[in-house]
Structure 1
């Protein structure tokens, strides 16, 4: 639809500088129309308007109201007519006095704004009462059909009531089902809101689905019973409405009757399609029921995601806060550097190819600062590859290196298994009673101790948990706060609060 400049002027007062003043005045004229008051004078507008939302709550001057009325008349929202009823002198006659009323365009704008505000404030809902009203209206139509000469006026009134209720049901149901997903997404952030909304929504949907299932079959039977007679009823209603059409030639009168009849047939077709299947399409009531049912799993999935997020073990912010506390408790920079290397994996790493080409065989624990410099070919820096152009180099035999690594891994696995057998006895033992631990046993012990302490709720709380691989069960119970345990290791003395530790192998260990 094309909107002319004159039509767009009708909405100018909404965004004008004195928009609040203009809206107060237009609200007065809208109320006057509802009260069947045809015309208003400026002093009546000033007296009837609610200036609470305009001018800071202070009524404006009569001159400002008169100027605003003139501007609204210029935009086309109002119409003005000379006011001669209060003229008592010749000077009053020549003075500009006007009566104002809503113009045709102003009425349309006020109606549109009223519908706009009502739509924004309306909460979509599933109307179980509407289903009952539809069933009762259809039963009333059945009773009229059974009469020898049905009353056309009653039929017309029942059909108008039926269409009004049905349109409200369809519109609200569509808006409600569209808003369910948005409501679930918006409320995922707060657990209490989701739990409360879950109970209310599930009860609401179950009640509506039950009524929809119970009443849909009865409504569908009524529609089927009315099918043989509905065309005649719609034709009578259309003929009755066509009597009020504007006078014209016979062809226009026939077109008007045909238009009214087609409109009623479309409304009946929509009602029929809601409760009866049309071809391969299921009835809209079935689709609505399926959509209402699917809202419940969506809500349950949102709650499951929320619970998973709340109970998840990985919390980066909490980890960083604990790490910051550990850094603050470091006694010197050396201890802080060791903690940083352990926390952020700042350990030396050497590529197997570069290690093999080095002049000396350095252990992996050697720091880059302590190791001899490594020569990097300029081509590697420039092109990202070290091989020069030409034939490919011969493949090097690395079987001896692989065998050495395999022996090293097997030896390390035996040492770890021996440490596991030594520690995982299934018997409770104090940390202070543990003998000196070798490198592998101490590494395994630190790993198990770290897994247990991460699950501890407080310094005095015991811990029961499985290891990450599920092969060991750890129970750690703290002793008195002033107790102390010292464990001798190849790297020094490991000391701290004494605990009773029980490491038990599970069935998965075998």
Structure 2
């Protein structure tokens, strides 16, 4: 079909990567390898004998003569990967030698691009995906560096703006590509049925630990990146890209179209960065995807590990037991052995009443045949219903709707209580622990839980301890006590004493309506109970 095509869609050139098909593809790739190595040594053209002599250096070991190499060179020239020209600098002994060896070959821009494309494919096939927290830290560092450079507004630093922006884009591409590959490998791992259960179990267990370590502090790193991104955008994205363009030192031949395309590429990269880390109504999109990938993977891996553990706990499966029994029955010496084997395997006797015992079994000598022993009373129900006891009616199904309603109400009350504690315990800044004074017991338990989380964290270089609640909604910063004062917190159930730490309790992120902390001294204490 004709037409102009979809706007913005780049069509593939005709016969792209054609050299990778056919029986001589390895020779073609080796020849392009020779020219790529020559370009790295700033050799722009090679003769036929030079190409033939350098083929073994690429690792190509198949025997090949100069006629085959010449045919391959002409084929690559027909694909517009090489171009030929006359060489007037060499000396030739005969006219025939001149006709044969005066042609030199050069790698074209398309040949260089197709060779690089194949190399990228081969490298991608060998690479493994990873969730690298170091890349997140590097993104934050580069954004902080851009903020510093943009604050200076020094034209002499435009080249550094360009290189820093390039490094930032490289880190973002690495994060995106590694996340996609790791997710694909993770799905293959979840579908894999390893023959070696020990190795399979250890790999999945180690992967759960790897994911857990990545998710830990992920939200804090993402918040740091979002803050740095906001600071850079305060200087103006257009101004940033304009300075990066000036620092890119494009050649004089670059017209307005080339410069516009360069700026469009940078804008697209910046939009991708914002999609990952810029705050939105439902959170940071890229970080939310990372959380979802890690959370689903941890759950699926734990379920798989549980299934493996359960399968190990059972000595054998029912199907395997039945196959073993079938082999034993097939190998029986005679039909008389079959009932004995059946009784030994199943523990079932021919008659139901044979399982009943005498009132005093010690009076019956071991080995006495049942026909010679005293009779045993049998319940009439056994003959009529197959059961020795009386069969009662099935119990009515219990109505659990009231229980479910009470559970929902209790869950809502607990959620409201947690939200209320979050509002009441938030401080305007660092304050003494003793400033809380009188507390309701529920608020005291929330405060005690926060203190316990902070004390469990390692001490930072500035002497503080920081901790986030499990849902990331509250952050506590615990400063070392400046003196030996003792704090006393009173609740309706008693008093609590301990070191008078300086604490700062805050709600990370932008404040929402209704989240403002109340005035100091209002900690849900009944009237007249304040300290």
CA distance in 2, matches of 1:31, 1:325: 69
Note closer, same or farther for the CA distance 1:58–1:309 as it changes in structure 2 (3 Å cut): same
* Cross-structure match for 1:235: 242
| 1:80 aligned partner | 84
Shift of 1:117: 0.7
2:395 is matched with which residue? none
Q: Which residue of 2 aligns with 1:131?
A: 136
State which drifts further: 299-308 or 185-194. 185-194
* Bigger-Rg structure (1/2): 1
Please give the alpha-carbon distance, in whole angstroms, between the structure 2 residues aligned to 1:88 and 1:72.
26
In 1, Cα distance between the equivalents of 2:323 and 2:186? Answer: 37
Q: Which has the higher helix share?
A: 1
2:74 is aligned with 1:70: yes
Measure the CA separation in 1 of the matches of 2:369 and 2:345.
28
Q: For 1:240 and 1:315, locate their aligned partners in 2 and report how far apart those are by CA, in whole Å.
A: 72
Which runs of 5 or more residues in structure 2 are unaligned? 1-9, 377-531
Give the counterpart of 1:267 among 245, 255, 269: 269
TM-score (norm 1): 0.61
The aligned runs of 1:403-418 (5 Å cut-off) are: 416=353
Contact 2:28 2:72 (C-alpha < 8 Å) held by counterparts: yes
> 2-side partners of 1:186 and 1:163: how far apart?
34
- Unaligned ranges ≥5, structure 1: 345-364, 366-411, 442-510
Map Cα deviations across residues 29-81 of structure 1 (whole Å, 9 max, x no partner): 22222222211122212221128965xx4542223322332333233332222
Using a 3 Å threshold, how does the CA distance of structure 1 residues 434 and 133 change in structure 2: closer, same or farther? farther
The answer to whether the 8 Å contact 1:327/1:339 transfers is: no
**Counterpart in the other structure of 2:437:** none
2:370 to 425, 428, 436: 436
- Quick one: distance in 1 between partners of 2:302 and 2:355? 46
Deviations 1:185-221 (A, max 9, x none): 2145432122211232123222222252332222122
- The equivalent residue for 2:297 is 295
State the Cα RMSD in Å: 3.9
TM-score for both structures, normalised by structure 2: 0.59
Match of 1:323 among 319, 323, 326: 326
* Separation in structure 2 between the aligned mates of residue 261 and residue 79 of structure 1, nearest angstrom: 33
How far apart, in 2, do the equivalents of 1:259 and 1:283 lie?
Answer: 27
**Contact 1:245/1:256 (CA < 8 Å) preserved in 2?**
no
Asked whether the equivalents of residues 80 and 100 of structure 1 are also in contact (C-alpha less than 8 Å), the reply is yes
Alignment-derived partner of residue 309 in structure 2: 307
Equivalent-residue separation in structure 1 for 2:363 and 2:45 (angstroms):
98
Within a 5 Å distance, the mapping from 1:244-263 to structure 2 comes to: 244=251, 246=253, 248=255, 253=256, 257-263=259-265
* Offset, 1:435: 5.2
Q: Secondary structure at the match of 1:278?
A: coil
2:173 aligns to what? Answer: 167
Contact 2:82/2:111 (<8 A) preserved: yes
Alpha-carbon offset, residue 305 of structure 1: 2.1
Query: What is the rounded CA distance, in whole Å, between the counterparts of 1:2 and 1:152 in structure 2?
Result: 35
Out of 12-21 and 175-184, give the one that drifted further: 12-21
Q: CA deviation at 1:91?
A: 1.7
Which protein, 1 or 2, shows the higher relative CO under an 8 Å CA cutoff with sep ≥ 6? 2
Number of paired residues?
A: 360
